Amino acid sequence: MGFLLHDQKNTMIMSFVLVPLLLILNMHYYMLPALADSKRNVYIVYMGKRQHLDVELLTRTHHDMLATVLGSEETSEDSIVYSYKHGFSGFAAKMTKAQALKLSKLPGVIHVTRNRFYKVQTTRSWDYLGLSSTSLSNLLNKSKMGNGVIIGLLDTGIWPELEVFNDENLGPVPSRWRGVCESGEHFDGAKACNRKLIGARYFISGLEAEYGQPYNTSENDDYMSPRDSSGHGTHTSSIAGGSFVANASYDGLGLGTVRGGAPGAHLAMYKVCWRLYGGVCADADVLKAFDEAINDGVDVLSVSLAADIPLYSEVDHRGSIPIGSFHAVAKGITVVCAAGNAGPRAETVQNTAPWILTVAASTVDRSFPTPITLGNNHTIIGQAMFTGEDTVSAALVYPEVSDLMPPRNCESLLSNDDWMAGKIVLCFASDCNQSLLNDAILSVKAAGGLGVIVSRSPSNYYPYAMNFPCLQVTYETGTQILYYIRSTSNPQVRLSPSRTHIGKPVSTNVAYFSSRGPSSNAPAILKPDIAAPGVQILAAIPPFDETTNGAFAFLSGTSMATPHVSGIVALLKSLYPDWSPAAIKSAIITTALTSHQSGGPIFAEGDPPKLADPFDFGGGIVNPNSAADPGLVYDMNTENYVQYLCAMGYNNSDIFQLTEHPVVCPSKQPSILDVNLPSITIPNLKKPTILTRTVTNVGPLNSKYKASVEFASGINVAVRPETLIFSSRTKTISFTVMISSAHNVNAGYYFGSLTWTDGVHVVRSPISVRTEVGESFF
């Protein structure tokens, strides 16, 4: 399942795999070998809040501090990699382990950590979400398509010449914008940027300093500039804020108008990921991108990066995303991050800090049915992206082996299996390892096969986008085809081109690969927060060569779901510029869809599939038009996040350095259940528990809301007061929720909801409760 991208500057062809498990820039932490000096590595010195506003003085302070450890001003100048001076204070520099230890003991230094590296792991969706450009009453048009909002993306770069980044009919660049369009290899900043792409930077000093030698762009098929060589950053950028491009498709499939969620918004790219060793993003570079984006003036940050399990805590400075995003949110910037692609296993969700808006991936109501006609004239429908006008007819084969030998599943097929030449192969996938399956499909092609029918679990079932007939069917359908093969001495098959189907009976599901909760870091904080389209999303990619079909491609992953929500956040920010990141997050979560638009339930793909719950999709599937009029919001500010950090038991001094004012946690540790989230999660309910929430009225001044609770039998929920009355003088009201359990055994989670409604607005908070009786042996 893949397509080939060919870089015009290099004759090497790179296979780009369209695998849900790989299409997020998934952060695998590891250390690169230091080639230049094995004793000196890059360390990140984190100093927390800025002590003053003079950035030049702050930079000098960093150099002076480093000089006291390294011994001279000259050595300090040569060793420093970055000075972090906008959103927070700190620097990255090359030093020995002993020097790093000495530096960590200096006054004002919170933490010194070794630089780490992260390894690199859409037409229908906006109409599906109710944001058709032809409707005058939806959020898209009410917000003037996100006019004036700036979306920043931390990614692999961008291809600025594409039509999807044209600035026709866009307003002027906002006067508050302080960013730059940085020139570099095959990237002229004076020409690349316009009123759509208003800024582009690249960050590689952290990578090069750790690697110990200059990054060779020729060897790695990359550009020393903001230009995108992989396609990932271009794809996510066009989803978030691309301009209108009519008649876009993948070789005729998914034909329609491509655009971003906020086509009136401006974009700024921060390239932090490079193609060394298959794709890496250095911690120091990611943190520097956050620092510059905060200073540049972005309104939204879209980050399709995620950390591996186990996670670091929010105050552990070995994680650049929790720290960088905290400072961004403190400045009013909403940070939207991918939940990760490690599903469907539980406790795999990433980017779990409560100030981050964490996005899971869901499907849309679109499929690509592809007829498979057997030699007995029986036609079966598979799923594929088999394009073109011609059918493919050939003998149909299955790799039969003796019962004494291991079965020849799909993953075992090899390029030297000459029995596949000139034939169409049926195989059964035995593993969820998508990379192995992709290799097997390419082996069929290399062996001279004319096509392949892959039989696999329907829970992990997405069509391949490649110029080779590769169809998917369920195990049940595959077995029927096998029965036909075994029933005749000369089995034949005809594969017909795919077509695009929209609407019923295709339903919405949480994607198989999408990482699931509960959070392994803080189980009482519901994650993910929301789900959005992330499966087979058609969007722009660099025009490497003709095989990319007009510079549009289908990609899948929470990387694709994240910019969907980032675009929606931009629309909301344009409509409500004074709303905090927490208010925007609340509006999105409490108005989400928990059932299909046709009325049916939403399932979570897995083995087996199940009804989706809050650990699969948070509040539900994003519902942008309702989010534009939520009625009530659960608002939060930096003090509320400090309450969370205190509730987690973090050290006072660490918390203090994240804030702009002194912090002393109360002697009695606050309850994490009282953090003012638009959700309630109790991982260990031992006795009746009372928690508090506060809502702010953002609807009509004179409003009356009544509470209703839905929950499984045995969990009791009481809300006091049951009625909230708002007026011009009363805009914020607190209420309590008492939750108790009649269950007398330790079991799994029970799910329900608390909903406030005034007859017009429906403000729904998901509830997740697990009973713990006596001593837990789990």
- Residues acting as catalytic residues: 155, 232, 559
> How far are the Cα atoms of 182, 550, 676 from residue 192, in angstroms, in the given order?
9, 20, 43
CA 586-241-236 angle, to 5 degrees, is: 90
Is the alpha carbon torsion for 512, 360, 206, 8 positive or negative? positive
Cβ within 8 Å of residue 326, ≥6 positions away: 314, 353, 355, 641, 658
- How far is the C-alpha of 509 from the C-alpha of 498, rounded, in Å? 22
Rounded Cα distance between 156 and 225, Å, is 10
Q: Is 554 helix (H, G, I), strand (E, B) or coil?
A: strand
Burial class (CB in 10 A: 0-12, 13-18, 19+), 666: exposed
By CB atoms closer than 10 A (0-12, 13-18, 19+), residue 421 is: exposed
Sequential DSSP letters for 687-730: S-EEEEEEEEE-S-SSEEEEEEEEE-TTEEEEEESSEEEE-SS-
> Does residue 577 have a cis bond before it (omega within 30 degrees)?
no
CA dist 661 and 642 (Å) reads 11
Q: Which two tokens stand for residue 598?
A: 């046709």
To the nearest 10 degrees (0 to 180), the angle between helices 558-575 and 232-241 is 30
Q: Is the dihedral of CA 318, 322, 328, 329 positive or negative?
A: negative
Q: Which residue is associated with the tokens 């469907």?
A: 344
Distance CA 543, CA 89 (A): 40
Cα distances (Å, whole numbers) of residue 180 to 328, 357, 501, 656 = 19, 27, 43, 32
Torsion of CA 246, 250, 253, 259, to 10 degrees: -30
Rounded CA-CA distance 382/478 in Å is 10
DSSP state letters, 571-633:
HHHHH-TT--HHHHHHHHHHT-BSB-TTSPBPEE-SSS-EE--HHHHTT-B--HHHHTS-SEE
Q: What single DSSP character describes residue 347? A: T
Label each residue of 52-77 as H, E or C: CCCHHHHHHHHHHHHHHHHCCHHHHH
Q: Please report which helix (H) or strand (E) contains residue 510, including its range.
A: strand 509-510
Q: What is the DSSP letter of 674?
A: G
Burial of 531 (0-12, 13-18, 19+ CB in 10 A): buried
d(CA 3, CA 774): 55
For 659, half-sphere exposure in the C-beta direction (CA atoms, 13 angstrom radius) is 19
CA dihedral 424, 428, 430, 433 (to 10 degrees): 40
Return the exposure string of 717-733: e unless at least 16 CB atoms fall within 10 Å of the residue's CB, then b.
bebeeeebebeeeeeeb
Task: Identify the sign of the CA torsion 370, 374, 379, 382.
Answer: negative
Q: What is residue 377's three-state secondary structure?
A: coil
Residue 577 burial class via C-beta count within 10 angstroms: exposed 0-12, middle 13-18, buried 19 and up: exposed
Q: How many CA atoms lie less than 13 Å away from 673 in the CB half-sphere?
A: 18
* Eight-class DSSP state of 544: -
